[in-house]
Amino acid sequence: MLISDFGAVACIATLLAPISHILLWMRLDLDSGSHQLLVLANLAVLLPPIALYIRGAAFFDAVLVTLTADICYAVPLLASIFLYRAFFHPLRRYPGPFWARISVFWKVKHFQASNFQAYRVIDELHAKYGDVVRLGPRQLSINDPSAYQAVYGASSECHRVHMLEYIRKNLQSLADPAEHHARRKVWDHGLNAKACQSYLPRINDITNRLCARFAGFNGRAITVNDWCHFYTFDIMGDLGFGRSYGQIESGSAHPAILKVQNFLKAGVIALQMLWAVNFLQLIPGLDDPMRDLKEWAEQLLKERDERTTEKEREENRDLMSYIEESRRVVDSRWPMSDKDIAEDAVTLQVAGSDTSYSVLVNLCHYLANYPELQGRIRKEVLGTFEDGDETTGPTWSRLASTQQCPYLDAAINEVLRRHAPVPMGTMRETPDHPVEIAGHVVPAKTIVSCPIWTMQYDERCFREADKFIPERWLDKSHPESRTDLMLDKRGFVPFSVGGMNCAGKYFAYMEIKVFAAKVLRRFEIVFPATQLFEEKNGVQAKLARDQKLVEGTKDYLTQWASDVEVCFVPLERR
Ligand code: HEM
């Protein structure tokens, strides 16, 4: 009887589509609920034919009536979703590309086509549509310095996107503010000024080894990118696992680290479709690109535990020893397993290396492009060394002092402004109720992000933003200061802000400064003759070189710097 009434089945399914869209689908958190979605979809396809077959219908008829019902349900459901997202969604008033309203696939397609320059896609959207752009069905990008505190600040009501946690559970993905705060406290102990200074001898040692390799090139041109990558990862390996990756010595990348690059590249797209990633994880046997590094981290942590006693680790503390403390000190509501510790170890490796490395690469470019700046910084850093302390290193209190090293500070900040290591910034989600952000009422459960790259090139914050002018960062008491170029410092957010901002900011500045001090003490950084423009030091040639550097910047979630080819010429040869 049911089989004969195809019309009734089709009508019921068609009616059910918009009703279920409004009552069910719109209320479900589809990003984190794709497990449920999968189960529901399977039930919809499988159960009706089975039920009809059991009730005596012919198998073919049972399948046919189910297919009719599924199609009559799916097509109006998609139409309902389309109409809602395009014309009735609470974000409908915000401008943006039409198809971006309908599906995240618009973003995915354009990010993919940008060849890892997704931050430029966002930049262009802001240039076209203004400060607030609807980037996806429920996502806004807000380019306004006053938005940062409301989105990321300590008192913000926005939280991390829950879905991140389903993919990996580590400090950087935790969405529950209380759990994050408890775990973050431990990291802060391991990365505060006092702890960082205790790591200096190890950083000095690795920097010496890098300088020895540079000396070995005897002034020949090298692409500095790989070396900076080896350097920052070797430091993190040493401070995390008590053993560097040995890349500076071997001159080649560790296989586990090469895997990280692939993971990050895929991450640019994956982050836009978290539900799809969640879905893919259900497929047994699918390779986890981070698996090697995680397993390797677990093994290194185990070896480290076997190699050293607890007392020795207590006396010679490294970063990982603080993180391991999480197990003891974090509230018992959030117990941590060995796997969680290994996840955090991997976070430390990636967050602490892939970011600072690009600053070093870009800094080398600017030092070579602006020899007079290099000379000034060299003069500053030479004053931070005691006589004859080649192996130990600069005195940190002097190197850290803005008074003693104003140009070094200014150059680093200008590099961070022009080459944000996390160009697109990170995402947050508004709570269950609307919130006000930079004068806009943003509906509940909206994903919001502030594009760091775009903000740091905004002329409303930085005059002549397209030019490399470190003097803008000099204190106004400095004779060369150009504070007139600084209009709104809130636009400078390379480390983000608030309770979930970068945990390694102090460490990063320390690492970059030690690198600069030690390298400049021994070498002059110059471009190879072949790369120089005809008019070697002409202003236009310098600007063109800077522009090329900026344009070649890629974004693999963290910045992948343009290739920089320079020579480290030993100073005694000059
Ligand atoms: C110039 C270098 C660096 C830059 C520009 C940078 C930038 C950032 C940014 C933008 C975030 C995201 C914050 C947010 O979502 O609000 C972040 C998170 C983080 N960074 Fe860095 N970072 C740098 C170096 C480092 C270093 C050297 C370490 C470790 C030694 C580190 C450890 C972390 C950690 C652990 C997080 C996650 C913090 C949390 O979830 O609480 N970073 N970083």
Residue-by-residue DSSP string for 504-528: THHHHHHHHHHHHHHHHHHEEEE--
pLDDT of residue 535: 54
Report the separation in Å between the CA atom of 504 and the middle of ligand 1, taken as the mean of its atom positions.
6
- Location of structure tokens 């890629």: 554
CB distance 451 to ligand 1 below 6 Å: no
Report the separation in Å between the CA atom of 350 and the middle of ligand 1, taken as the mean of its atom positions.
9
Q: What angle do CA 470, 471, 476 make, to 5 degrees?
A: 140
* Stretch (H or E) spanning 409: helix 406-418
pLDDT band at residue 236 using 50, 70 and 90 as cut-offs:
very high
Whether residues 433 and 503 share a domain: the answer is: yes
Tell me how crowded residue 29 is: count the other CB atoms within 10 A of its CB: 13
Contacts of 424 by beta carbon, 8 Å cutoff, 6+ apart: 118, 119, 122, 449, 451, 452, 453, 555, 557
Least confident of 255-269, 441-455, 476-490: 255-269
**397 assigned to some structural domain:** yes
CA 189 to chain CA mean position, Å: 22
Domain end marker among 71, 88, 105: 88
**452 assigned to some structural domain:** yes
Cα–Cα distance, 224 to 206 (Å, whole number): 16
**348 assigned to some structural domain:** yes
Report the separation in Å between the CA atom of 309 and the middle of ligand 1, taken as the mean of its atom positions.
30
**310 assigned to some structural domain:** no
CB distance 494 to ligand 1 below 6 Å: yes
Whether residues 73 and 195 share a domain: the answer is: no
Whether residues 384 and 525 share a domain: the answer is: yes
Q: Are 239 and 319 in contact (CB under 8 A)?
A: yes
pLDDT of residue 1: 47
Q: What is the CATH number of the domain that holds 488?
A: 1.10.630.10
Whether residues 151 and 21 share a domain: the answer is: no
Q: What angle do CA 499, 504, 507 make, to 5 degrees?
A: 145
Whether residues 413 and 536 share a domain: the answer is: yes
Report the separation in Å between the CA atom of 356 and the middle of ligand 1, taken as the mean of its atom positions.
9
Whether residues 366 and 466 share a domain: the answer is: yes
**137 assigned to some structural domain:** no
CB distance 351 to ligand 1 below 6 Å: yes
Whether residues 549 and 408 share a domain: the answer is: yes
**303 assigned to some structural domain:** no
What Rg, from alpha-carbon coordinates, does the chain have?
27
Report the separation in Å between the CA atom of 170 and the middle of ligand 1, taken as the mean of its atom positions.
13
pLDDT band at residue 389 using 50, 70 and 90 as cut-offs:
low
| C-alpha to C-alpha distances, 260 to 171, 254, 558, nearest whole angstrom | 17, 10, 11
CB distance 503 to ligand 1 below 6 Å: yes
Provide the token pair at 356. Answer: 């600072």
3 state DSSP class of 502: coil
* Stretch (H or E) spanning 548: helix 539-551
CB distance 500 to ligand 1 below 6 Å: yes
Provide the token pair at 373. Answer: 């700046």
Report the separation in Å between the CA atom of 452 and the middle of ligand 1, taken as the mean of its atom positions.
13
Report the sign of the C-alpha dihedral through residues 198, 204, 210, 212, in that order.
Answer: negative
pLDDT of residue 130: 98
Q: Mean pLDDT score of the chain, rounded to an integer?
A: 89
Count of domains observed in the chain: 2
Report the separation in Å between the CA atom of 163 and the middle of ligand 1, taken as the mean of its atom positions.
20
Tell me how crowded residue 188 is: count the other CB atoms within 10 A of its CB: 13
Q: Are 350 and 269 in contact (CB under 8 A)?
A: no
Cα–Cα distance, 125 to 118 (Å, whole number): 11
pLDDT per residue over 486-532, tens digit each?
A: 999 999 999 999 999 999 999 999 999 999 999 999 999 999 975 55
Q: Are strands 139-142 and 447-449 parallel, antiparallel or unpaired?
A: parallel
Mutate to test the pocket of ligand 1, among 184, 358, 495, 513 (most ligand atoms within 8 A of CB): 495
pLDDT exceeds 90 at position 342: no
Contacts of 305 by beta carbon, 8 Å cutoff, 6+ apart: none
* End-to-end CA, the chain: 97
pLDDT exceeds 60 at position 4: no
Over pLDDT 70: what percentage of the chain?
90
Cα–Cα distance, 192 to 214 (Å, whole number): 31
pLDDT per residue over 410-428, tens digit each?
A: 999 999 999 999 999 999 9
Q: Tell me, what DSSP letter sits at residue 242? A: S
pLDDT exceeds 70 at position 3: no
pLDDT of residue 32: 54
Among protein residues, the one whose CA lies closest to atom 34 of ligand 1: 503
pTM (predicted TM-score)? 0.92
Whether residues 59 and 192 share a domain: the answer is: no
Q: What is the mean pLDDT of residues 104-119?
A: 94
Provide the token pair at 43. Answer: 């039930």
Whether residues 457 and 569 share a domain: the answer is: yes
CB distance 495 to ligand 1 below 6 Å: yes
pLDDT of residue 537: 64
Ranges of H-type helices in 354-405: 356-369, 371-382, 396-400
| C-alpha to C-alpha distances, 228 to 360, 500, 524, nearest whole angstrom | 6, 26, 17
- List the 565-570 sheet strands across, edge first: 221-223, 565-570, 523-526
**132 assigned to some structural domain:** no
pLDDT per residue over 40-96, tens digit each?
A: 766 676 677 777 777 777 888 878 888 888 888 889 989 999 999 999 999 999 999
Whether residues 188 and 55 share a domain: the answer is: no
Provide the token pair at 555. Answer: 């974004």
Among protein residues, the one whose CA lies closest to atom 31 of ligand 1: 504
pLDDT exceeds 70 at position 282: no
Contacts of 242 by beta carbon, 8 Å cutoff, 6+ apart: 304, 307, 308, 318, 320
Q: Are 436 and 156 in contact (CB under 8 A)?
A: no
What residues does 428 pair with on adjacent strands?
448
CB distance 342 to ligand 1 below 6 Å: no
Is 502 known to sit in a ligand binding site?
Answer: yes
Q: What is the mean pLDDT of residues 376-404?
A: 89
CB distance 300 to ligand 1 below 6 Å: no
CB distance 356 to ligand 1 below 6 Å: yes
CB distance 422 to ligand 1 below 6 Å: yes
Provide the token pair at 567. Answer: 């020579």
Cα–Cα distance, 142 to 173 (Å, whole number): 21
Report the nearest atom of ligand 1 relative to the CA of 494.
5
pLDDT exceeds 90 at position 288: no
Contacts of 572 by beta carbon, 8 Å cutoff, 6+ apart: none
Whether residues 354 and 478 share a domain: the answer is: yes
Report the nearest atom of ligand 1 relative to the CA of 508.
27
Report the separation in Å between the CA atom of 55 and the middle of ligand 1, taken as the mean of its atom positions.
60
3 state DSSP class of 224: helix
Mutate to test the pocket of ligand 1, among 228, 347, 355 (most ligand atoms within 8 A of CB): 355
Report the nearest atom of ligand 1 relative to the CA of 172.
40
Report the nearest atom of ligand 1 relative to the CA of 425.
10
**Which amino acid is located at 186 in the chain?**
V
Q: Are 183 and 523 in contact (CB under 8 A)?
A: no
Report the separation in Å between the CA atom of 505 and the middle of ligand 1, taken as the mean of its atom positions.
7
Provide the domain limits for residue 34.
6-88
**94 assigned to some structural domain:** no
Whether residues 164 and 31 share a domain: the answer is: no
| C-alpha to C-alpha distances, 519 to 22, 80, 255, 374, nearest whole angstrom | 62, 62, 27, 11
